[in-house]
């Protein structure tokens, strides 16, 4: 599974300082699978942070080729700052996908549930979420917040988890394609 579209986090018109080639490179994140990629931009083409670029198999308008995956630690300082805003927008534009996680998440082992991998969710919140979704599936982040007592902001929890996965601090993957 590959991302067809990526969102620009940072654009380096002369490439990275540690690269032998001087070609325009953009650090990006996949819109659907959240892969961090470096892509080479076609000459005489400029992109800016937040731009949506097509990187699928068909003819690409602005991208010359995909250089490859990179780690969170390889991102520029600017790209790391932009990442949180871009992830907020990705979650907001695809809220149903993340709400479905709360409605369908299951156990990983007999002692660990995938809901517990979310920051701020322990056994108590996990059981409240499970009870709530048995009564009626959650429909929005506000619905989760309203029906589960004392739960931190669900959208912020998802964002924190995505950033943890991008930093590779945990071997379990809930949202980021490994």
Extract the residue ranges of the chain whose pLDDT is less than 50. Answer: none
Inter-residue contact 91 to 102 (CB < 8 Å)? no
**What is the per-residue pLDDT for 58?**
93
Q: Where along the chain do the CATH 2.40.50.140 domains lie?
A: 5-75
**What is the per-residue pLDDT for 23?**
92
**What is the per-residue pLDDT for 60?**
95
Q: CATH class for domain 94-166?
A: mainly alpha
For the residues of the chain, what is the DSSP string, one character each?
A: ---SEEEEEEEETT--TT-SS---EEEEEETTT--EEEEEEPTT----TT-EEE-SSS--SSEEEEEEE--GGGS-HHHHHHHHHHHHHHHHHTHHHHHHHHHH--BSSSS-BGGGGSTT--HHHHHHHHHHHHHS---SHHHHHHHSTT---HHHHHHHHHHHHHTT--S--SSS--
pTM above 0.85, yes or no: yes
**What is the per-residue pLDDT for 170?**
86
pLDDT digits (tens, 9 = 90+) for 49-93: 999 999 999 999 999 999 999 999 999 999 999 999 999 999 999
May I ask the CATH architecture of the domain 5-75?
Beta Barrel (2.40)
**What is the per-residue pLDDT for 17?**
73
**What is the per-residue pLDDT for 48?**
95
**What is the per-residue pLDDT for 136?**
97
- CA triple 93-95-96, angle to 5 deg: 125
Alpha-carbon span 77 to 83, nearest angstrom: 10
**What is the per-residue pLDDT for 22?**
84
Q: Where along the chain do the CATH 1.10.150.280 domains lie?
A: 94-166
């Amino acid at each position: 599974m590959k991302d067809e579209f990526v969102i620009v986090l940072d654009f380096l018109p002369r490439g990275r300082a540690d690269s032998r080639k001087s070609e325009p490179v953009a650090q990006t994140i996949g819109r659907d699978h959240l892969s961090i990629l470096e892509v080479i931009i076609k000459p005489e083409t400029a992109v800016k942070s937040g731009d949506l670029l097509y990187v699928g198999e068909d003819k690409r308008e602005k991208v010359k080729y995909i250089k490859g995956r990179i780690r969170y630690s390889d991102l520029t300082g600017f790209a790391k700052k932009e990442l949180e805003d871009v992830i907020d927008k990705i979650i907001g534009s695809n809220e149903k996908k993340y709400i479905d996680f709360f409605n369908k998440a299951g156990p990983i082992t007999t002692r660990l549930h995938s809901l517990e991998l979310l920051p701020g969710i322990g056994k108590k919140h996990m059981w409240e979420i499970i009870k709530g979704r048995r009564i009626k599936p959650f429909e929005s982040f506000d619905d989760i917040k309203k029906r589960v007592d004392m739960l931190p902001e669900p959208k912020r929890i998802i964002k924190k988890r995505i950033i943890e996965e991008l930093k590779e601090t945990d071997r379990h993957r809930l949202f980021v394609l490994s």
